[in-house]
Amino acid sequence: MLVKVETYLDSNAGAPLHPRVVEALLPFLNQSSRVLIPNPSSIHSHGRRAKRFLAEAREKIAASLGSRIDPEQIIFTSSGTEANQLVVRSVFEPLLLKGAQPHWILSAVEHDSNRQMVKWLEARGGSASVLPVDSNGNLRLEILPELIRPETALISAVWVNNETGVISNISALAQISKAKGIPLHIDAAQAWGKLPIELNTLGAQFVTFSAHKIGGLAGTGVLWLAQGHPAHAAILGKQEKGRRGGSENLLGAIAAGAAAGAIGPLEWSENVVQLRDRLQDAICVKIPGTQVNGALAPRVSNTLNLTFEGVEGDGLVMAMDLAGYSVSSGSACASGVLEPSHVLLAMGLSQAQAMAAVRISITESHSWENLEGFVSALEQAVLRVRKASRRRDL
């Protein structure tokens, strides 16, 4: 019989609902047995009320993204994936319709939602180049000028890698893109709530977010557009000022606003990094043959990506699940696919090393007593898997 999972250590895949989100949603669920979630486009009183809720959520999100952010520059989407792909389509579709053959530069460690769009662009006559990273996951920005062409129309990079927690040097990247006059697209899904954000000085023209990474509801993405950079909707309609059709996810937007209003990245980081570092040290001491991926790069405070020599990552994830702990072998968006992480391969790990990796992402709610039990369970699981692997090799 499966043991009930009691300790969740996979917050990068989806953070637990923030208490303020639960508080914000309860009035909609407690009014009566007939839950009413009005359409913000309706002109009756219920619709106008819903529209106010939507506007308030947009304002709270804008306030979390820096000073003097115009809430009307924010577009709600169904996910961070849709937000990323809306950026790509907004930049390239007008050029492709004119018969141009535009060029795109994206990093080697992008989220799969961006990587999927490479084939889309190439099938329509465009092209793409990949900006490599070093062995710690840092962008090789010295190579970027060599990749830029006259037809380069967009540069995309993930701010915080969802697998390793490595923080990209967005400031230096923005300087290059500005000097070359090329729009910059930043995937900030894992940066939101973990790093201070000032969009007006970031230097990007498109920035995307995902609400369930900060304790909101899954199914709610956010795209911020700099002034003068329109969105060309893939879903046509009058909602979101014609920039993204379809009735807005009102509860998702309200939840995103409540979560955004509660974040405090500096305080959060100070609380979490001590736990993360103590956890990393304990694992490395107790489990020989442990490699910390991205250890020498700047990382967000909650993320550990570890390769355990002689271990298969997915098998270790299942063993820890049976022990009552939820961890991940990589990006949740690629779960169920037994392939090595493209992020770790880009950092120079072998296929075997990449397949032996596990991601641990904690929250400020974890205690050391809880994590100490996890370390013991992890040590036992790694030993079992290694012994079984050696027996198979005999």
Where are any strands of DSSP class E within the chain? 7-8, 74-77, 103-107, 127-131, 152-158, 184-187, 206-210, 221-225, 290-292, 303-308, 325-326, 357-361
Question: Which class in CATH covers the domain with range 19-262?
Answer: alpha beta
Structure tokens at 211: 């609400």
pLDDT at residue number 59: 96
pLDDT at residue number 314: 87
Look at residue 113 and give its three-state secondary structure.
helix
Nearest alpha carbon to residue 313 among 361, 258, 381, 267: 381
**The CATH number of domain 7-16+264-393, selected from 3.40.50.300, 3.20.20.70, 3.40.920.10, 3.90.1150.10:** 3.90.1150.10
**Cβ(326)–Cβ(10) under 8 Å?**
yes
Q: For tokens 């920035």, what's the residue?
A: 207
| 243: Cα separation from own chain's centroid | 22
Distances (CA, A) of 252 to 42, 77, 304: 18, 10, 29
pLDDT at residue number 298: 97
- Residues 6 or more apart from 285 whose CB is under 8 A from it? none
**Cβ(292)–Cβ(302) under 8 Å?**
no
Concatenating the DSSP letter of every residue in 258-269 gives: HHHHH--HHHHH
d(CA 214, CA 14): 8
d(CA 321, CA 8): 10
Look at residue 207 and give its three-state secondary structure.
strand
Active site residue 333: yes
Angle of CA points 127, 84, 336, to nearest 5°: 95
Identified catalytic residue from 108, 333, 334, 345: 333
Concatenating the DSSP letter of every residue in 66-85 gives: -TT--GGGEEEES-HHHHHH
Q: For tokens 């807005």, what's the residue?
A: 248
Ranges of each domain in the chain: 7-16+264-393, 19-262
Bridge partners (DSSP) listed for residue 8? 326
pLDDT at residue number 125: 97
**Cβ(183)–Cβ(205) under 8 Å?**
yes
Distances (CA, A) of 97 to 89, 149, 322: 11, 20, 53
Nearest alpha carbon to residue 346 among 169, 161, 134, 115: 134
- Residues 6 or more apart from 86 whose CB is under 8 A from it? 75, 77, 223, 231, 233, 234, 244
- Average pLDDT across each block of 10 residues of the chain; the chain has 394 residues. List them in order: 70 95 88 65 77 92 96 94 96 96 98 96 98 98 98 98 97 97 98 97 97 96 91 73 78 96 94 96 96 97 95 90 90 60 96 95 92 95 83 59
